[in-house]
């Protein structure tokens, strides 16, 4: 998922936006965040509390994205939910990376100069494990590695965090939906406690989301993007969330989403991303979204 510039405060429990805000000109401030029960099921709307904030690729303002350092940075700053991106190596291991190439966030171009364009799926897990995934972000993160999904899940469990997992570019990795579910099951993430309140799987690929639902109907799922309202009823058969770019939101579209119930009987939720830096807590709540991914 693309990332933008909404500033999430470093201090305090940055899990949910509260309703208290003194000026529509304010950006999010530390005293606007308070931790509420993850099982409350409250849907935010105008004049209500509880818009969840999910740490995009971990606390990617404070540590290199999609690394264990970013997971820990999110934990220190009170983020209970984190988002990540999952792809597959050449030899079939699941790794946590956003881009479909290794160039931007690792030193693959230096270590493997003859292998442009450095596609993730062209490298073995052992080769990816050699890469420095932290120095591009800052010197103190030199030597940070690209985690496997197994590593990532262990760290989340250790920290007591929850996961919004994006299956990235599934068309490049046939069968990745079943493989992700097998890994989640092997790590204990398909038990009742995780499925009820600690896991959502999303993708830009509608058929990928449908496949996840067919293989594991107990798992909550989300479709990234803002599909035409005429498609929403069909998508509600296998998706619990519709997660668009913030700028794509309209009152008509949100109303259409919130009139529908997903496969688990709850009103469809909306988690928005790519939120502009001058967006206020009041404007987020006024849109009636359940959360922001930032």
For residue 52, give the 3-state DSSP assignment. strand
Q: Is 75 a catalytic residue?
A: no
- Which segments of the chain are extended strands (E)? 16-17, 51-54, 81-88, 94-96, 162-167, 199-203, 220-224, 241-243, 271-273, 291-293
Q: How far apart are the first and last CA of the chain?
A: 10
- Alpha-helical runs (H) found in the chain: 68-76, 108-111, 125-129, 149-159, 176-186, 192-197, 206-215, 229-235, 251-258, 281-287
**Cα 188 to Cα 150: distance, rounded to the nearest angstrom:** 11
**Cα 178 to Cα 215: distance, rounded to the nearest angstrom:** 7
Burial (Cβ within 10 Å: 0-12, 13-18, ≥19) of residue 111:
middle
Q: Is-contact 288 267, C-beta < 8 A?
A: no
> What's phi and psi for 54, nearest 5 deg?
-105, 130
Catalytic residue among 75, 98, 194, 213: 98
Tokens of 60: 């990617």
**Cα 28 to Cα 277: distance, rounded to the nearest angstrom:** 9
Within 13 Å, how many C-alpha atoms sit on residue 181's CB side? 19
The Cβ of residue 249 has, within 10 Å, a number of other Cβ atoms equal to 18
Q: Is-contact 274 254, C-beta < 8 A?
A: no
Largest distance between two CA atoms of the chain: 57
Catalytic residue set: 56, 98
């Amino acid at each position: 998922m693309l990332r933008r510039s909404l500033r999430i405060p470093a201090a305090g429990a940055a899990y949910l936006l509260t309703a208290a805000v003194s000026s529509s000109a304010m950006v999010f401030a530390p005293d606007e965040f308070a931790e509420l029960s993850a099982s409350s099921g409250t849907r935010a709307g105008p004049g209500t509390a509880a818009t969840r904030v999910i740490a995009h690729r971990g606390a990617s303002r404070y540590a290199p994205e999609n690394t264990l350092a970013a997971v820990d940075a999110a934990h220190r700053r009170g983020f209970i939910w984190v988002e990540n991106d999952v792809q597959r190596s050449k030899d079939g291991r699941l790794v946590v990376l956003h881009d479909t190439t290794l160039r931007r966030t690792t030193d693959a171009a230096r270590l493997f100069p003859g292998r442009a364009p450095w596609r993730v799926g062209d490298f073995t897990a052992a080769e990816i494990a050699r890469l420095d995934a932290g120095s591009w972000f800052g010197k103190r993160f030199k030597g940070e590695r690209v985690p496997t999904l197994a590593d990532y899940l262990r760290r989340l469990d250790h920290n007591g965090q929850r996961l919004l997992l994006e299956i990235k570019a599934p068309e490049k990795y046939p069968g990745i939906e079943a493989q992700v579910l097998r890994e989640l099951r092997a790590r204990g993430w398909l038990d009742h406690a995780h499925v009820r309140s600690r896991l959502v799987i999303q993708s830009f690929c509608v058929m990928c989301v449908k496949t996840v639902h067919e293989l594991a109907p107990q798992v909550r799922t989300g479709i990234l993007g803002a599909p035409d309202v005429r498609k929403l009823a069909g998508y509600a058969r296998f998706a619990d969330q519709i997660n668009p770019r913030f700028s794509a939101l309209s009152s008509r579209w949100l109303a259409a989403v919130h009139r529908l119930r997903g496969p688990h009987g709850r009103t469809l939720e909306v988690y928005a991303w790519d939120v502009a830096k001058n967006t206020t807590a009041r404007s987020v709540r006024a849109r009636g979204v359940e959360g922001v991914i930032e």
